[in-house]
């Protein structure tokens, strides 16, 4: 790889100009970089390195809509220099991540549910010293600085695989010291850094939660932001490790949290599903944008969602105009009916499906006729391992 420092120096000057115009962002950005340095996640680069392994990563600020005021600095591992990027040079990763639908399905299996996540999971996995020079970046606290990351980064090609391997290796290495249940939880109930699990009784949650924390901390993985629909389970967790919404053990008000992107009302123990109507033009591009904005991994509104997909498929097959041309009157009528029905699908579904025998749901058969009755028979049996 060619040394791309000259290009990154130019990008750093652009970043510097941007931050100088926003003092609040500059302060948050600087605090985040200082946090990386103080924790040892980034260290001062050595003066002599192999030229072929020297690479500078551009970085920028990212704001999460659900976390206003919080800034995260992200390193761009896909940035190219002379048609090459860091990700281009990395081996293709093994997919060691559990299936998202599988983790969510097991989370619905029993009455008592709890969640937690590993704090700064990627930063707990170190990079070999001989490879760290490929993770350099430029920064200026009081003068120019040339640090390099000593831990894995979110966004690099195989780093998620390395973090997942390290997590599961922790369980495998301590198999003789901990229960089968704790080991199985690490292997099957984690989606990257999020742990979601359900058990039959409250006492079945309190002890495993404690043992799970003891197991993972052996390799520096700290479980935090604990959350549960069981007050007793939360009471057994140190207050500093609880999610902010349950630190005071107040279960009387609405507690809305996200379980892998699905909204979970903790107090009433239901999944809430809300579809926000966006002002999109009646074009193929607008319809595609609306369809793509619906996040429904468990298929709660799949039959209704399918109506819009069928409409889009018909439009694409006929190829009437471009993606930004207004659709025909008949298609516009179908689209209008679908949008009119949209608010009716903002509903709640029970998280715990262990006792359900028959679930009856009303779904529209299509966007132009009446509704059909769909019966979903569910037999309460354990989900296979």
Residue 348 has pLDDT above 60, yes or no: yes
Residue 1 has pLDDT above 60, yes or no: yes
Q: What number is the average pLDDT over the span 29-55?
A: 81
Neighbour count for residue 322 (Cβ, 10 Å): 9
**Residues 18 and 48 placed together within one structural domain of the fold:** yes
**Residues 129 and 38 placed together within one structural domain of the fold:** yes
Phi, psi of 134 (to 5 degrees): -80, 0
CA nearest to 202, candidates 241, 235, 245: 235
Mean pLDDT of the chain, nearest integer: 83
pTM of the model: 0.81
User: Residue 276 falls within a domain, yes or no?
Assistant: no
Percent of the chain clearing pLDDT 70 (strictly above): 85
Question: CB-based burial of residue 53 (10 Å sphere; 0-12 exposed, 13-18 middle, 19+ buried)?
Answer: middle
30 vs 50, higher pLDDT: 30
User: Residue 365 falls within a domain, yes or no?
Assistant: yes
The pLDDT, as a whole number, for residue 253 is: 66
Beta-bridge partners for 326: 283
Sign of CA dihedral 311, 314, 318, 319: positive
What is residue 352's three-state secondary structure? coil
**238 vs 245: CA distance, rounded Å:** 14
Q: What is the largest CA-CA distance in the chain?
A: 73
What is residue 359's three-state secondary structure? strand
The pLDDT, as a whole number, for residue 67 is: 74
Residues contacting 210, CB < 8 A, separation 6+: 236
**Residues 245 and 136 placed together within one structural domain of the fold:** no
User: Residue 52 falls within a domain, yes or no?
Assistant: yes
Torsion of CA 324, 329, 330, 333, to 10 degrees: 90
Are the C-beta atoms of 36 and 46 separated by less than 8 Å?
Answer: no
**Residues 12 and 148 placed together within one structural domain of the fold:** yes
The pLDDT, as a whole number, for residue 186 is: 95
- Element containing residue 12 per DSSP (H, E): helix 5-20
The pLDDT, as a whole number, for residue 251 is: 65
The pLDDT, as a whole number, for residue 381 is: 38
Q: Which residue has the tokens 């299936």?
A: 99
Percent of the chain clearing pLDDT 90 (strictly above): 43
**Residues 316 and 253 placed together within one structural domain of the fold:** no
Q: What number is the average pLDDT over the span 226-234?
A: 91
What is residue 72's three-state secondary structure? strand
User: Residue 149 falls within a domain, yes or no?
Assistant: yes
Q: Which of 64-68, 82-86, 107-111 comes out lowest in average pLDDT?
A: 64-68
Beta-bridge partners for 377: 358
Are the C-beta atoms of 233 and 112 separated by less than 8 Å?
Answer: yes
The pLDDT, as a whole number, for residue 378 is: 37
pLDDT band at 91 (very low <50, low <70, confident <90, very high): confident
**Residues 139 and 225 placed together within one structural domain of the fold:** no
Q: With DSSP H G I counted as helix, E B as strand and the rest as coil, what are the percentages for the chain, rounded to 5?
A: 40, 20, 40
CA nearest to 326, candidates 284, 382, 294: 284
User: Residue 179 falls within a domain, yes or no?
Assistant: yes
The pLDDT, as a whole number, for residue 355 is: 57
Residue 359 has pLDDT above 60, yes or no: no
Phi, psi of 114 (to 5 degrees): -145, 155
pLDDT band at 310 (very low <50, low <70, confident <90, very high): very high
The pLDDT, as a whole number, for residue 136 is: 92
User: Residue 11 falls within a domain, yes or no?
Assistant: yes
Beta-bridge partners for 149: 42
What's the gap between Cα 274 and its chain centre?
18
Q: Which of 47-61, 84-98, 316-330, 350-364 comes out lowest in average pLDDT?
A: 350-364
The pLDDT, as a whole number, for residue 254 is: 65
**184 vs 223: CA distance, rounded Å:** 16
Q: What number is the average pLDDT over the span 214-230?
A: 93
Residue 31 is part of a domain; what is its CATH number? Answer: 3.10.10
Are the C-beta atoms of 94 and 108 separated by less than 8 Å?
Answer: no
Structural domains in the chain (count) = 3
CA nearest to 334, candidates 352, 309, 357: 309
**Residues 249 and 326 placed together within one structural domain of the fold:** no
- Domain containing 137 equals 5-97+125-159
The pLDDT, as a whole number, for residue 332 is: 93
User: Residue 132 falls within a domain, yes or no?
Assistant: yes
372 vs 4, higher pLDDT: 4
Summarize pLDDT for 165-177 with one digit per residue, the tens: 999 999 999 999 9
Q: What number is the average pLDDT over the span 185-197?
A: 95
**Residues 311 and 326 placed together within one structural domain of the fold:** yes
pLDDT band at 51 (very low <50, low <70, confident <90, very high): low
Residue 361 has pLDDT above 60, yes or no: no
Q: Which residue has the tokens 């990008």?
A: 11
Summarize pLDDT for 272-298 with one digit per residue, the tens: 877 766 678 899 999 999 888 888 898
**Residues 199 and 317 placed together within one structural domain of the fold:** no
Pairing of strands 71-75, 190-191: unpaired
What is residue 131's three-state secondary structure? helix
**180 vs 185: CA distance, rounded Å:** 9
**Residues 302 and 255 placed together within one structural domain of the fold:** no
Residue 369 has pLDDT above 70, yes or no: no
**Residues 250 and 192 placed together within one structural domain of the fold:** yes
Are the C-beta atoms of 54 and 130 separated by less than 8 Å?
Answer: no
């Amino acid at each position: 790889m060619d040394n791309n420092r000259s290009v990154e120096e130019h990008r750093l000057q652009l970043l510097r100009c941007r931050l100088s115009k926003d003092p609040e962002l500059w302060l948050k950005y600087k605090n985040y970089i200082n946090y990386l340095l103080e924790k040892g996640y980034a260290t001062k680069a050595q003066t002599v390195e192999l030229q072929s392994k020297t690479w500078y990563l551009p970085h920028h600020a990212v704001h999460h809509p659900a976390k206003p005021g919080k800034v995260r600095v992200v390193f761009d591992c896909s940035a190219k220099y002379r048609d090459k990027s860091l990700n281009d040079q990395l081996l293709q990763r093994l997919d060691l991540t559990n299936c998202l639908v599988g983790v969510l399905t097991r989370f619905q299996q029993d009455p008592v549910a709890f969640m937690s996540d590993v704090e700064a999971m990627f930063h707990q996995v170190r990079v070999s010293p001989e490879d760290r020079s490929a993770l350099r970046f430029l920064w200026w606290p009081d003068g120019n600085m040339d640090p390099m990351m000593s831990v894995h980064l979110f966004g690099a090609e195989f780093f998620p695989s390395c973090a997942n391997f390290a997590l599961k290796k922790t369980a495998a290495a301590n198999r003789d010291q901990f229960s089968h249940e704790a080991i199985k939880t690490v292997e099957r109930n984690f989606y990257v850094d999020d742990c979601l699990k359900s058990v039959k009784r409250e006492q079945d949650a309190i002890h495993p939660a404690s043992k799970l924390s003891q197991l993972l901390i052996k390799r520096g993985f700290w479980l935090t932001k604990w959350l549960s629909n069981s007050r007793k389970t939360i009471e057994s967790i140190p207050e500093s490790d609880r999610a902010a919404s349950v630190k005071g053990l107040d279960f009387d008000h609405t507690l809305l949290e996200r379980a892998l992107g699905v909204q979970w009302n903790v107090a009433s123990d239901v999944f809430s599903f809300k579809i926000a109507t966006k002002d999109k033009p009646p074009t193929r591009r607008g319809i595609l944008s609306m369809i793509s904005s619906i996040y429904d991994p468990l298929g709660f509104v799949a039959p209704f969602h399918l109506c819009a997909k069928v409409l889009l498929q018909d439009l694409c097959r006929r190829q009437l105009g471009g993606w930004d041309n207004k659709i025909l009157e008949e298609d516009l009528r179908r689209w209008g009916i679908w949008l009119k029905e949209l608010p009716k699908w903002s509903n709640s579904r029970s998280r715990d499906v262990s006792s359900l025998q028959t679930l009856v749901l009303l779904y529209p058969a299509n966007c132009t006729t009446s509704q059909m009755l769909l019966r979903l028979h569910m037999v309460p049996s354990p989900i296979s391992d």
